Amino acid sequence: MHLIYQVGIHILYLLVLIASMFKPKARLWINGRRGLFAALKKRILPSDEVVWVHCASLGEFEQGRPLITEIKNRYPNKKIVLTFFSPSGYEVQKNFALADVVCYLPLDTKFNARRFLKITHPEKAFFIKYEYWYNYLSVLKKRNIPAYFVSAIFRPDQLFFKKYGSWYRNMLCKADHFFLQNENSADLLKTININNYTIVGDTRFDRVANVLLNAKPLEIVERFVNGNPVVVGGSTWKAEEALLKQFLVKHPEVKLILVPHEVENGSVDRIMQQFGNLAVRYSQAGNADNRNKQVLVVDCYGVLTSLYQYATIAVVGGGFGAGIHNVLEPATFGMPIIFGPNFEKFKEATDLVEKNCAFPVNNIEEFNTVMNHLLINPQTTQKIAQMSAGYVKDNVGATNKIIDAVFSTDQC
């Protein structure tokens, strides 16, 4: 199995290399790793106290962000090396101010793992949620560098828990400690005799709680909203946009702030064409009077979290595809949340559904029923909003528990 893994890693590289001739993201993946080791040598000194934090992509970064922030607050002299596997994480956060070095993770070969860890010489390594890279974990273990998994969550269908999953279970044994999100994950680890874990919750709660405290008013949005009920479509795809379009036709009193998951590849142009004269681009709203517009289409990154402060209801994208996007950001601002049927892999989503704060829908009929009920029953909507915000408040604190455990002693 080990040989198959090594061959598979090289095949992965070749496939991405071929794809880079046609796909911009694949090209970023390849080009971003060129010259990486030389750049690291210039930026990391042998005397530096380094902490390595690795995130697969942008979602995991939001879980790692509060960890990095707290490490910097408590230990400002430590140098943070932040790595990403995916361009969608690196390209957005490559200038993240609290990290001293932000770069792609070199491909998981033996040579790359040894070289990367020799140059960066981290005293501790944090892997956020997922990303089990065999060679990196092996070299960390051999060099006695503790490796921690933060906001980790496990499911029964993962290979670790299959009869034929012994090789994958061996990867888990190379980790020093798992900081888990929930009891179910702990129960699964116990079935394979892994007991080096602590249930602390999800660090994203700390992140979104901080977002709430630091939310800034947006004058463009305040003029656009103009006292109307507001729906914020967060990280939407075509399925959610179609539902919203059909609903808005019959509800001219509702304002929609639409934040598509992708703003490139003509996505914003397509949305503008779909909504026609009802819509205005965020970048062009400026000081103009847009009170006669019903849809504000956000054509840039980085403002979604601030937009939720204006929402009456949130519609979160992804639930008609691979899985929903971040529901904690709207929850912390307090509001009902609607999404598609593919949500069950996300603990926070299932929690909110169980609390009747979030509502999965399968089609336009169910969507209209939920939306109409929420809009014509403001007292119910307000009660849901309070419960939603309370859910976030009740679950903050994971970050401090992790930092206390990791940095107060060498053993968890």
Cα distance between residue 76 and residue 310, in whole Å? 35
Q: Hey, how many other C-beta atoms are within 10 angstroms of the C-beta on 126? A: 25
- Residue 409 has a pLDDT of 59
Q: Which of 276, 297, 302 is nearest to 224 (CA)?
A: 297
Give the CATH fold of the 214-393 domain: Rossmann fold (3.40.50)
One digit per residue, the tens of pLDDT, for the chain of length 412 reads: 888 999 999 999 999 999 999 999 999 999 999 999 999 999 999 999 999 999 999 889 999 999 999 999 999 999 999 999 999 899 989 999 999 999 999 999 999 999 999 999 999 999 999 889 999 999 999 999 999 999 999 999 999 999 999 999 999 999 999 999 999 999 999 999 999 999 999 999 999 999 998 888 999 999 999 999 999 999 999 999 999 999 999 999 999 999 999 887 689 999 999 999 999 999 998 867 777 899 999 998 878 889 999 999 999 999 999 899 999 999 999 999 999 999 998 999 999 999 999 999 999 999 999 999 999 999 999 999 999 999 999 999 999 999 999 998 544 3
Handedness of CA 5, 6, 7, 13 (dihedral sign): positive
Q: Which of 298, 316, 317, 296 is nearest to 237 (CA)?
A: 317
The residue ranges of every structural domain in the chain are 2-201+397-408, 214-393
Give the strand order in the sheet containing 295-297.
279-281, 295-297, 255-260, 230-236, 313-316, 337-339, 358-360
Pick the CATH number of 2-201+397-408 from 3.40.50.300, 3.40.50.11720, 1.10.1330.10, 3.30.1340.10: 3.40.50.11720
- Residue 412 has a pLDDT of 37
Q: Where are the beta strands (DSSP E) in 50-175?
A: 50-55, 79-84, 101-104, 122-128, 147-152
- Residue 411 has a pLDDT of 42
The answer to whether the 2-201+397-408 and 214-393 domains have the same CATH topology is yes
| Confidence (pTM) | 0.86
